[in-house]
Structure 1
Amino acid sequence: MSVFGKSRPARSRGKVWTGVAVTAASALLLSACASGDADSGSGESAGPRDELALTIGTALPQTGNLAFLGPPEEAGVAYATSQINEVSDTTGLTLDVVYGDSGDTDNKAYETEIPRLLGEDVSAILGAASSGTSLQFIDQVVGAGVIQFSPANTSDAFTTYDDNGLYFRTAPSDVLQGEVLGNLIAEDGNQTLGLLVLNDSYGTGLAKYVTDAFEAAGGEVVAAPTYNTGDTTFDAQLSEVLAADPDAIALITFDEVSTILPSLFGQFPSDKLYFVDGNLKNFADAFPAGSLTGAKGTLPGLTIDSISDFTGELDAFLEEEGTPALEDYSYAAESFDATVLLALASLAANSTDSADIAAKLQEVSGGSGDGEKCSTFAECADIIVGGGTADYDGISGPITFDEVGDPTEASIGIYQYGEDNNYAAYEG
């Protein structure tokens, strides 16, 4: 069970986060024009408003091969919830969160958790982290008329998925991460590349875009064996990659990387290893010091260094709540932003109905209408309650949904491991 349990409206924090740096030398930014009709959107009128008791569920990885992402994601949700409920007296909206476990496609925790969450009459389910896991229950969620909103799904499969207009995400498609990583590997002077790839929609999709970018830069992918969720030995795949004698190896995996890496130590230089968002984490003393020195990786979102105000506030919130400190912050900001956006859309719709909220999510992200920029829930809520249209720019980026629920503006952070086997923003 989540360390946050079932969150209920409470006034537990007095300080509201107010800003974040939006540029960083190690972040690469892609911007695109949002689709949808522009209008002068005035939001709901400033007349009578309903008292809104919004309930959302989370299906984030408490277990499985992405369990290391669960704590930062749930922390982001909890912190956003505390800020939303702090101003309930002025907005009329309170948020309740029911925490659940997505698991993965091996342990299939979602098979019992999704029905449980739907039984709580939630307006939205936030999750999963894994694209492959989300694809296992998206039909069940949207078929029930409930929003599915992921802070970390990156597979391009969701862009064209028939989701009844109920699927959204704050993480960009792997088209961008693949391009950034493929170009990074080529720019580092590597001419040949080996890949080790998780055989699901995330792994094979990201591998395709890495390959496309690397080959467009003049490189050659010489090996790309796959493995399946639940596999515990990778000898055959590693033998195939090493036999091809690549200049670099990209590990497109989830937490199976912890089992894979010891077989590479001593056989392949660490500064020629490349990680992705599914496995980029701080390993610290899990391996001998210096085991990963020079290895690099990519992670959607602004670099952790550039959002240090947010991570510091998040740490303080967790300390107040008596919750263990985070070892990693991956997708915490995206989870925070997803929670804020759901609450803002509910407020703009003056409704907790899923379809009504979904109809307002593009607007409050700035993807439609001509909203007023704002960067906190309280600030945006004031605009909406006053009869205006809010355009929320989040901690993870401007977000700005297109008509299919994809963010049209995104960043990819580039990181490098040091002697302590932890990663920091790459200074290049």
Structure 2
Amino acid sequence: MSLSSKAIRSRSRKAAISGIALLAGGALALSGCSAGGGTTETEEPTSGGGAPIEDLTLKVGTALPVTGNLAFLGPPEIAGVNYAASQINEADLGITVEVVEGDSGDLDNKAYETEIPRVLGEDVSAIIGAASSGVSLQFIDQVTSAGVIQFSPANTSADFSTYDDNGLYWRTAPSDILQGEVLGNLIAEDGHETLGMIVLNDSYGTGLAGFTQEAFEAAGGEVVAMETYNTGDTNFDAQISAVLAADPDAIALITFEEVVTILPGLVDSFPAENLYFVDGNLKNFSEQLDPGMLEGAKGTLPGLTIDDIASFTDELQAFQADNGGEELEDFSYAAESYDAVILLALAAMQARSVEGADIAAELQAVSGGVDEEGEQCSTFADCAQIIVDGGTPNYDGVSGPISFDENGDPTRASIGIYQYGPDNNYAAYEG
């Protein structure tokens, strides 16, 4: 099965998404990323109709999950950030990126309480993160009130679409309005009439659960149980028992890393092929669970499928190996992290400034915006050269076209549908 369409958000924060993007196979394919280009010694880079571009140094911090219940997302996101910085620096087109790494942690260990002040103290223009919507909400005011951009590659809570952020919050991941609609419809299309859910009790979990329920019930289904838990909980027997007692046809697990503890007690009494995962827990479980334990289970993940960004993931693995990094087991939000840094650098070049507010003022323009203006390009080097030559780029990233609305939300997105095999790893769903 391979379905795709654009999901368009209007300029209004309160407008609903008007379409659904399902991407199960290779419906969309974007080029991989490469660096190149430069200026000759006799030509001074210019922008804005010929005004010289002074060399810029852009300091970008990260608040990504090194620890906590989303730590499995940290390696691909951090790798994406560092890979983008390396390509920007190699291009030598008037801007250098320095990365200051930090740990967001989670709502339990609260690493962000010390890490965000430390990273802000390094005079960064932007902070990439957090991955968790609930964690981002803990420090968004601290970051944006300092005049620093907060740019998340993975926040999907709908709360951010209406948040008062002074124009300084941006994200390359789409709102869960879209993922919930795709997931709810997928479960219904698979023939299930009743649904149970185990849900993380935070803005991400309850928000995504609500949108999933809305879509599933609109398709004629009924949610018969929705059991929640809190970050830091370690025993889920009560939630499992309550959901199983409702005798649902399918169960959606809207969780983070806690799913590893939930699954053994669940699959003993419920068929894996009727389980549904989401971006917060869709990962490679081959080293954690017995072979075949998840075979047939499905899940959704914002972004183009791994198959469609294979050239990028190959390059990212090579970058890791060349720089002493560990081999990546998952690639969730790696492309979105990469694109975030590219967009920040392009916006800084367009603004000829590394001040947070100045960069934010150009982010929509360099993404193409809702009207798809500017000259289309798909690598940093090509886009930066457009700025050097006095134009405005329209960056189509590894994660998709992006095209921000004026509120920092991508106006176009895809949702990948995946299925687990006997090795407890997931691949693009081909059914």
What TM-score, normalized by structure 1, do the two folds share?
0.91
Question: Which of these residues, 6, 11, 26, is aligned with residue 35 of structure 1?
Answer: 11
Name the counterpart of 2:425: 422
| 2:84 maps to 1:80 | yes
SS at match of 1:190: coil
Name the counterpart of 1:239: 241
Name the counterpart of 2:189: 187
Name the counterpart of 1:377: 380
Amino acid at match of 1:345: A
Report if the CA contact (8 A) 1:127-1:148 is conserved.
yes
CA distance in 2 between partners of 1:270 and 1:371 (Å): 47
Structure 1 position 46, deviation (Å)? 2.2
Name the counterpart of 1:71: 75
Name the counterpart of 1:15: none
Q: Pairwise mapping of residues 341-380 of structure 1 onto structure 2 (< 5 A)?
A: 341-367=343-369, 370-380=373-383
SS at match of 1:306: coil
Structure 1 position 51, deviation (Å)? 1.2
Q: Pairwise mapping of residues 170-319 of structure 1 onto structure 2 (< 5 A)?
A: 170-319=172-321
Report if the CA contact (8 A) 1:293-1:419 is conserved.
yes
CA distance in 1 between partners of 2:376 and 2:3 (Å): 22
| 2:37 maps to 1:61 | no
| 2:372 maps to 1:396 | no
CA distance in 2 between partners of 1:212 and 1:219 (Å): 10
Aligned residues: 397
CA distance in 2 between partners of 1:303 and 1:33 (Å): 22
Report if the CA contact (8 A) 1:171-1:407 is conserved.
yes
Structure 1 position 26, deviation (Å)? 4.2
CA distance in 1 between partners of 2:293 and 2:124 (Å): 45
Amino acid at match of 1:65: N
Structure 1 position 316, deviation (Å)? 1.0
CA distance in 2 between partners of 1:46 and 1:262 (Å): 63
CA deviations on 1:353-402 (whole Å, 9 max, x unpaired) are: 10000000000000067200000000000000110010000000000000
Report if the CA contact (8 A) 2:276-2:298 is conserved.
yes
Structure 1 position 44, deviation (Å)? 1.9
Amino acid at match of 2:390: G
CA distance in 2 between partners of 1:43 and 1:391 (Å): 15
Q: Pairwise mapping of residues 86-165 of structure 1 onto structure 2 (< 5 A)?
A: 86-88=90-92, 91-165=93-167
CA distance in 2 between partners of 1:109 and 1:28 (Å): 39
SS at match of 2:77: helix
CA distance in 1 between partners of 2:213 and 2:171 (Å): 24
Question: Which of these residues, 312, 320, 323, is aligned with residue 321 of structure 1?
Answer: 323
Report if the CA contact (8 A) 1:29-1:409 is conserved.
no
Amino acid at match of 1:275: F
CA distance in 2 between partners of 1:287 and 1:317 (Å): 29
Amino acid at match of 1:166: L
CA distance in 2 between partners of 1:214 and 1:232 (Å): 29
Q: Which runs of 5+ in 1 are unaligned?
A: 1-24, 37-41
Structure 1 position 322, deviation (Å)? 1.4
Q: Percent identity?
A: 71
Structure 1 position 290, deviation (Å)? 0.6
SS at match of 1:335: helix
Question: Which of these residues, 408, 411, 414, is aligned with residue 411 of structure 1?
Answer: 414
Alignment RMSD: 1.3
CA distance in 1 between partners of 2:4 and 2:297 (Å): 18
Change (3 A) 1:220 1:43: farther
Amino acid at match of 1:286: Q
CA distance in 2 between partners of 1:415 and 1:351 (Å): 41
Report if the CA contact (8 A) 1:285-1:420 is conserved.
no
CA distance in 2 between partners of 1:413 and 1:338 (Å): 20
Report if the CA contact (8 A) 1:27-1:303 is conserved.
no
CA deviations on 1:269-305 (whole Å, 9 max, x unpaired) are: 0000000000000100311111000000000000001
Change (3 A) 1:368 1:260: closer
CA deviations on 1:151-170 (whole Å, 9 max, x unpaired) are: 00000000000000000000
Amino acid at match of 2:140: I
Report if the CA contact (8 A) 1:26-1:303 is conserved.
no
Report if the CA contact (8 A) 1:29-1:412 is conserved.
no
Q: Which runs of 5+ in 2 are unaligned?
A: 13-45
CA deviations on 1:149-196 (whole Å, 9 max, x unpaired) are: 000000000000000000000000000000000000000000000000
CA distance in 2 between partners of 1:381 and 1:34 (Å): 28
Structure 1 position 47, deviation (Å)? 2.2
Structure 1 position 35, deviation (Å)? 3.4
Name the counterpart of 1:50: 54
Report if the CA contact (8 A) 2:57-2:97 is conserved.
yes
SS at match of 2:313: helix
CA distance in 2 between partners of 1:227 and 1:365 (Å): 38
Structure 1 position 43, deviation (Å)? 6.5
Amino acid at match of 1:30: K
Report if the CA contact (8 A) 1:84-1:378 is conserved.
yes
Structure 1 position 48, deviation (Å)? 1.4
Structure 1 position 210, deviation (Å)? 0.3
CA distance in 2 between partners of 1:275 and 1:52 (Å): 43
What TM-score, normalized by structure 2, do the two folds share?
0.90
Name the counterpart of 1:7: none
